[in-house]
Homo-oligomer: A and B are copies of this chain.
Amino acid sequence: MSGLVMPEADAATMARRAEIVADMRIIVPGEGVVETVNEMRAFETDGLTAYRQLPLVVVLPETTAQVARILKYCNERNVRVVPRGSGTSLSGGALPLEDAVLLVMSRFNRVLDIDYANRAVIAQPGVTNLAITHAVEQDGFYYAPDPSSQIACSIGGNVAENAGGVHCLKYGLTANNVLGVEMVLMSGEVVRLGGSHLDAEGYDLLGLMTGSEGLLGVVTEITVRILKKPEAARAMLVGFSSSEAAGQCVADIIGAGIVPGGMEMMDGPAIRAAEDFVQAGYPLDVEALLIVELDGPGPEIDHLIGEVEAIAAKNGAVTSRISTSEEERLSFWAGRKAAFPAVGRISPDYYCMDGTIPRKALPTVLAGMRQLSQKYGLGVANVFHAGDGNLHPLILYDANNPGELEKAEEFGADILRLCVKVGGVLTGEHGVGVEKRDLMGEMFSDTDLDQQMRVKCAFDPQHLLNPGKVFPQLRRCAELGRMHIHRGQIPFPDIPRF
């Protein structure tokens, strides 16, 4: 069955598509071009399943040279391109466009070099996050950023989204653990940014690429920093009678200069849902629970546990338990890791938000969220990376009740507006994608957005790379007042071209 993906397309459009597909088959011979509707279904969405779209064609290159030829081809013929890793993103960043080539990097799946002297691993972008740790763990090392999807998500996707995880509080986001990349510009030119050394002269294009959500270039090789596994780790469960008290405890722990390996928080609804689901041994008579993990040499852990206990007591902690074995530590985490599906058991639907706030604003935002919950008449369960202020409120609703989905979305947007109001931002680790594109104006002024767009224009002046993502409104580069596009005008990217 051939790719009749545009049932209403005219003959000229179909002919142009056929030409592109044929040219892609020349660039990527063998199994690397997927064009039937059935086969392309596997690529029509990402982890945010609310959005679905079939691409023009799916191409799975195997070499940097092929990626360069594809991008050069598309650049010259004004064809849009959406890059994609494993497709686990949560904001629609890898969502296909019906008139765009979907460039899937999953065949770039090899670990190329392990270099302990420089504490670096070189991997292709399709390697999963966890596979990097697997490649070095027998020698006592690991790759620190650990998004929940780490078994499936690709390191290339991690770079695109600047992925985080439970341990990014102490060990940093992807941006803090990537040393270098090879990337292909939309023009087909190949550049190398960074390397396995400390710093590079010239502009920090490596940092710019990290978190750019596939709008600036396609990464074809990544050098990451690996860390030695901590000698030991112990976790504490600390219960509070209010989320505000737990939030203040988090702010005080960080304010005291302690940086736990992880510091997660769950509120009453999340605690009870998780305990009911996996029996982690959580206290059921508290309204907030902190899981604080301390790692390092044993004596350091003992010392820090004492400090954390004192701060918790000062903030009115009502329960406190410290893991005494590796099994107990893992059981403390089991509830947290099962919290999302657990919430799924108590509510027909939930909407997961992702915002970040300055840590000291935690009590304010938690109180504000409670007020919003009353205003909208919808429950909210909070499960989040408290230590770094990255909230994941789960808004509970029932899509079968007319209007509840819309209420949930409006509730979510209000939470993000509250995050921005206290000095935070619209996202923590899930990206902007299509989901939060229209909220960017809440965070950024027109001046800010114009400047970001000028940077985009410096990489991809025709807006061919992942258009329609991140920016609320793409302006032609010419409209930014200082640049224009050769080859005449281009249509706005929101309008399919053929």
Instruction: Please state if B199 and A429 are interface contacts (CB–CB under 8 Å).
Output: yes
Q: Which residues of B contact A444 (CB under 8 A)?
A: 202
Q: Which residues of B contact A207 (CB under 8 A)?
A: 175, 204, 207-208
A107 CB–B CB distance under 8 Å: no
| Binary B-proximity of A236-262 (CB < 8 A = 1, otherwise 0) | 000000000000000110111110000
Instruction: Please state if B199 and A228 are interface contacts (CB–CB under 8 Å).
Output: no
Within 8 A of B (CB), among A181-211: 185, 189-192, 195-205, 207-208, 210-211
Q: Which residues of B contact A119 (CB under 8 A)?
A: 254-255, 257
A452 CB–B CB distance under 8 Å: yes
Q: Which residues of B contact A484 (CB under 8 A)?
A: 483-484
A323 CB–B CB distance under 8 Å: no
Instruction: Please state if B201 and A432 are interface contacts (CB–CB under 8 Å).
Output: yes
Oligomeric state, in copies: 2
Q: Which residues of B contact A212 (CB under 8 A)?
A: 203-204
Bound complex: CA A3 to CA B210 (Å): 47
Min C-beta distance of A489 to chain B, whole Å: 14
Bound complex: CA A256 to CA B449 (Å): 44
Instruction: Please state if B390 and A198 are interface contacts (CB–CB under 8 Å).
Output: yes
Q: Which residues of B contact A482 (CB under 8 A)?
A: 457, 461, 477, 483, 485-486
Bound complex: CA A448 to CA B205 (Å): 10
Q: Which of B115, B208, B388, B447 contacts A203 (CB 8 A)?
A: B208
Min C-beta distance of A343 to chain B, whole Å: 23
Q: Which residues of B contact A443 (CB under 8 A)?
A: 200-202
Instruction: Please state if B251 and A117 are interface contacts (CB–CB under 8 Å).
Output: yes
Q: Which of B115, B297, B360 contacts A299 (CB 8 A)?
A: B297
Min C-beta distance of A250 to chain B, whole Å: 9
Q: Which of B168, B192, B204 contacts A448 (CB 8 A)?
A: B192
Could you say which of A30-38, A81-89, A330-338, A351-359 contacts chain B?
A: A351-359
By beta carbon, the residue of chain B nearest A191 is B448
Bound complex: CA A299 to CA B232 (Å): 14
Q: Which of B251, B297, B486 contacts A481 (CB 8 A)?
A: B486
Q: Which residues of B contact A477 (CB under 8 A)?
A: 482-483
Q: Which residues of B contact A426 (CB under 8 A)?
A: 201
Within 8 A of B (CB), among A434-455: 436, 440, 443-445, 447-449, 451-452, 454-455
A339 CB–B CB distance under 8 Å: no
Instruction: Please state if B117 and A451 are interface contacts (CB–CB under 8 Å).
Output: no
A424 CB–B CB distance under 8 Å: yes
Q: Which residues of B contact A196 (CB under 8 A)?
A: 358, 423
Instruction: Please state if B257 and A141 are interface contacts (CB–CB under 8 Å).
Output: yes
Known contacts A201-B436, A459-B451; is-contact A208 B208 (Cβ 8 Å): yes
Instruction: Please state if A201 and B427 are interface contacts (CB–CB under 8 Å).
Output: yes
Bound complex: CA A204 to CA B208 (Å): 5
A303, A427, A451, most chain B CB atoms within 10 A = A451
Min C-beta distance of A458 to chain B, whole Å: 4
| Binary B-proximity of A91-120 (CB < 8 A = 1, otherwise 0) | 000000000000000000000000111110
Known contacts A208-B204, A358-B197; is-contact A255 B428 (Cβ 8 Å): no
A23 CB–B CB distance under 8 Å: no
Q: Which residues of B contact A423 (CB under 8 A)?
A: 195-197
Known contacts A358-B118, A483-B461; is-contact A388 B198 (Cβ 8 Å): yes
Q: Which of B116, B257, B424, B451 contacts A255 (CB 8 A)?
A: B116
Q: Which residues of B contact A449 (CB under 8 A)?
A: 202
A157 CB–B CB distance under 8 Å: no
A393 CB–B CB distance under 8 Å: no
Q: Which residues of B contact A228 (CB under 8 A)?
A: 256-258
A425 CB–B CB distance under 8 Å: yes
What are 7 inter-chain pairs, A to B, with CB distance below 8 A? A117-B252, A190-B447, A196-B358, A198-B390, A204-B211, A207-B207, A482-B486
Question: Which 6 A-B pairs have CB atoms at the shortest separation, nearest pair first?
Answer: A228-B257, A207-B207, A299-B299, A117-B360, A483-B483, A454-B458
- Using a CB–CB distance below 8 Å, which chain A residues touch chain B? 115-119, 140-141, 162, 164, 168, 173, 175-176, 185, 189-192, 195-205, 207-208, 210-212, 216, 227-229, 251-252, 254-258, 296-300, 303, 356-360, 388-390, 423-429, 431-432, 436, 440, 443-445, 447-449, 451-452, 454-459, 461, 470, 477, 481-486
